[in-house]
Structure formats: C-alpha cells, structure tokens
Amino acid sequence: MDGVDMTGGRARIGRSWDDIQPYYISGQGADVAGTATYGTTPFQWYKFTDNHAKDEQLQFSFQLPHRWAAATDVHLHLHVVPSANGAGGNEDVSFRLSYQWIEINSAFSTTTMTTPADTTFRVGAADANKHLIWEFTALAGAGHSLSSDLAVIIYRMSKTNAADNYTGDIWLRYIDLHVEIDSLGSISELAK
C-alpha cells in the first residue's frame, strides 16, 4: 500500500493530522453553559452568554487513540459562532482551560488541575454567525501514552477577566483535539 510501512507487521503511516471528538460532555452547578435554540432553527447548541454575573463552564473528556503519535503535543480547538459582530472589530472573549491528563493504571488527582493563562480570542467586525476555530496553546503530550484520558474544563471568563469585553454570546458548535497520527493502530493494547 502506498504510504504505509508494514515493517515488523506494523502498519505505520507518514505523520498526518486527525480530529478526536470528546466521548463525554457535561457541566455541573449554576455556572454550566446552557443550551438554547440557535436563531429560528431547530438546533440546540451550548451558549456561553455575555453574562458578567458568572463565568460559565463545560467539561469534556477525550481518549487518546491507538493511531496517535504518542507523546506528541495535542491542540484543543473550539468551533464557535459569535452571535454578533465585534464592535469596531476589536471585541475580545476570554476563555480559561483547565485539564488533567490521566494515564492508564495511574491515580486520578482529586485536587490538581493544570490551568494555563487565560486565552483571549478576537471577534471581528464581520464575524457574526460565522463558524470560527479558536485554538488554545498546544498541550504537551510528552510522557503520555495511548488510551490515556484528557479531562478538560473550559470557561468563558466574562465575570472575572476584564479582557472579555465582547457583548455578544458565543455559541459552541463543538470542541475537538487535533492530534498527529503515525499508524493505523497499535499491535498491543497499550503500546505500539
């Protein structure tokens, strides 16, 4: 097969990119981003409101697949639709990312999450109802293995981060990880 190396009976491919969707989506408590009808369509989407009374959040979990090039960085993307144009093309939305990478046969911390600095995304003057992709800084994959679990919480920081000056809502279409892959799978269940 072109582009596939069958050395040692393993189907290896050249480095490529792939999307991974979460297997779990949830939110807890009063600060969860709710769902609402998008315009007059029948679509029910998650909506991070321009609500300076609270920071809204959603939780996700991803399982790193056997085709992943283990230990390479992963890129978390938000696929969003702003409800209105950014005034003057310079309104910003602040999101916080917290995560925990959980290895097979390793303890799941009950107290510790990794929380990088908040990320500010720009809403332009013609971005209303446009499908945008916003990417956080890459998450280091070094030391992490196949089938590990990446538990993620995202927050719109409209209450506690003054950088969030966008007056519209952010509709979340979906969230995904962009990962590098180097094989069609693995020979053993937990290692290549």
**Each residue of 145-166: pLDDT tens digit?**
999 999 999 999 999 999 999 9
Residues of the chain with pLDDT > 90: what percent?
74
pTM (2 d.p.): 0.88
* Sequence spans of domains, the chain: 16-183
Average pLDDT in the 85-112 region? 91
Q: What are phi and psi of 8, to 5 degrees?
A: 65, 20
Average pLDDT in the 114-132 region? 95
**How many angstroms separate the CA atoms of 125 and 149, rounded?**
38
Which two three-digit tokens encode residue 105?
A: 């046969």
Average pLDDT in the 3-19 region? 68
Q: Check pLDDT > 90 for residue 45.
A: yes
Burial profile 55-90: b = 16 or more Cβ within 10 angstroms, e = fewer: bbbbbbbbbbbbbbbbebebebebebbbbebbeeee
**Overall CATH class of domain 16-183:** mainly beta
**Non-local CB neighbours of 191 within 8 Å, separated by 6+ positions:** 145, 146
